[in-house]
Amino acid sequence: MNSQPHETGKRSVPAHVAIIMDGNGRWAQARGLDRSEGHVEGVNTVRRITEIASELGVRYLTLYAFSTENWNRPQQEVATLMHLIGIAIERETPDLIKNNVRLTMIGDVERMPAEALERLRGCMARTAHCTGLTLNLALSYSSRWELTDAARRMAADAAAGKLNPDEVDEQTVSRYLTTASMPDPDLLIRTGGDVRVSNFLLWQIAYSELYFTQTYWPDFSKDDFRKAVMQFGSRERRFGLTGEQVRGGEISDSADR
């Protein structure tokens, strides 16, 4: 899907929204609560935002649920988060099926505790037939891990004679990424006030529209999501073309610089 021409100009609903869900810890600390309470509340936001994304007709929603770097957090917090993710996914599976939502995941998931992984894989299997929104969880994910892994597999395929190095182009690289079956994100949202991309989908967000908000993830509402989507709809995406070319309807699959 990444090899499709870019859709220039204005599009009201993004096909793929990626979200860096930040601010759970600060949300909890501001209330004198344990950080894990922020993650519990963050799960409710995941449910809310999945609902609204589905209602609006978003095709893919990728959530940065746990980064490679998050493994270095205090063991207790990591354990709580893993448990929470597994429990929440199992609990929500019937509703995901009812709402025609398919669960997928990207990342170095073999590092996850067996219990959480089993629940996630169970949900993936039970929602595999769903044809509405794809809820894609980035778990034990970082872009540098993904790009390194892709480079390693490309080198191995080249050594085995399955890949011709002279024929490697951008589409080839995209095919080796964990997101090979999805379009690149049209919109990247980050909650929690920081203005950075934190090793998330670095290749895939080359032309994404970026939206940053101060709102902590547990407070991020359906209306906040609608607002981000509306702002996305008002932006003109040029992919390196001029505004006149875009408004004249010229579309190019090579004009990506």
Q: Which residue has the tokens 């063991």?
A: 75
DSSP element (H, E) containing 211:
strand 209-212
Q: What are phi and psi of 113, to 5 degrees?
A: -60, 140
**Is residue 39 part of the contact set for ligand FPP (CB under 6 A)?**
yes
Residues annotated as catalytic (active site), given as ranges: 22, 70
Convert residues 58-97 into a mask of x (bound to ligand FPP by CB under 6 A) and - (unbound).
-----x-x----x----------x---x--xx--------
Kindly state the number of chain residues that form the binding site for ligand FPP, as judged by CB under 6 A. 20
Ordered DSSP codes for 61-114: EEEEEEEGGGGGS-HHHHHHHHHHHHHHHHHHHHHHHHTTPEEEEES-GGGS-H
Which stretches of 107-182 are DSSP H helices?
A: 114-127, 143-159, 170-176
Q: How far is the CB of 203 from ligand FPP (least distance, A)?
A: 22
When the beta carbons of 138 and 241 are compared against ligand FPP, the nearer one is 138
Amino acid, single-letter form, for residue 73: R
Of the ranges 41-49, 94-102, 111-119, 125-133, which one interacts with ligand FPP (CB under 6 A)?
41-49
**Is residue 25 part of the contact set for ligand FPP (CB under 6 A)?**
yes
User: Considering only residues 114-153, where is the footprint of ligand FPP by CB under 6 A?
Assistant: 137
Applying CB under 6 A, among 18, 46, 53, 138 the residue interacting with ligand FPP is 46
User: Considering only residues 211-250, where is the footprint of ligand FPP by CB under 6 A?
Assistant: 217
Q: What are phi and psi of 77, to 5 degrees?
A: -65, -40
**Is residue 107 part of the contact set for ligand FPP (CB under 6 A)?**
no
Closest to 216 measured CA to CA, from 31, 85, 53: 31
Q: How far is the CB of 167 from ligand FPP (least distance, A)?
A: 38
Task: Give, in order, the Cα–Cα distances in Å from 100 to each of 38, 93, 180.
Answer: 28, 10, 22
Query: By three-state DSSP, how is residue 238 classified?
Result: coil
Q: How far is the CB of 215 from ligand FPP (least distance, A)?
A: 12
User: Which residues of the shown chain bind ligand FPP in the complex (CB under 6 A)?
Assistant: 21-26, 39, 42-43, 46, 63, 65, 70, 81, 85, 88-89, 137, 192, 217
